Structure 1
Amino acid sequence: MRDEFKAGDRVQWHASQGVVRGTVKRKLTARTHIKGHEVAASEEHPEYLVVSDQTGAEAAHKAGALERI
């Protein structure tokens, strides 16, 4: 069973600088671009746009990379 997240959920994920915490902004279900990077999201393989608490930067992550806090 895959985790589902919704806008406003508080999450954390692992990055090269350690654990990062932030908020889910929205679920991505179609290809899109974020900061010049193509995100290959689809209905079958959604990703989540998250905003870092510390930097305010946006990034896309697969559900398996996120942990609810």
Structure 2
Amino acid sequence: MGKGFAIGDHVSWNSEAGRVSGTIIAIHTRDFYYKGHTHHASDADPQYEIKSDRTDHIAAHKGGALDLD
């Protein structure tokens, strides 16, 4: 189970390119289809959509991969 975050929270996570940061723009509590894959989410283990600070890239991650900045 991941940590709880809210829309507007500024978070960071590790990526292949190093540490990335951004702002949470959506929270999913049900499975959703994104970028060609089904992402699994629930009330107990949501996934978060985050807009990168440096680019317009949107990433989806579970709370366990994120840290508050």
Asked whether the two chains share a fold, i.e. TM above 0.5, the reply is: yes
> Which TM-score tier does this pair reach, normalised by the shorter chain?
0.7 to 0.9
The answer to whether the 8 A contact 2:45-2:63 is kept is: no
Structure 2 residue aligned with 1:48: 48
Give the number of aligned pairs. 69
Runs of 4+ in 1 over 4 A off after TM superposition: none
Query: Could you tell me whether the CA contact under 8 Å between 1:34 and 1:59 is conserved in 2?
Result: no
TM-score (norm 1): 0.88
Structure 2 residue ranges without an equivalent (≥5) = none
TM-align CA RMSD: 1.5
Structure 1 residue 2 displacement after superposition: 4.8
Identity rate of aligned residues, in percent? 41
Answer yes or no: is 1:32 the counterpart of 2:37: no
The residue correspondences of 1:1-69 to structure 2 (distance < 5 A) are 2-69=2-69
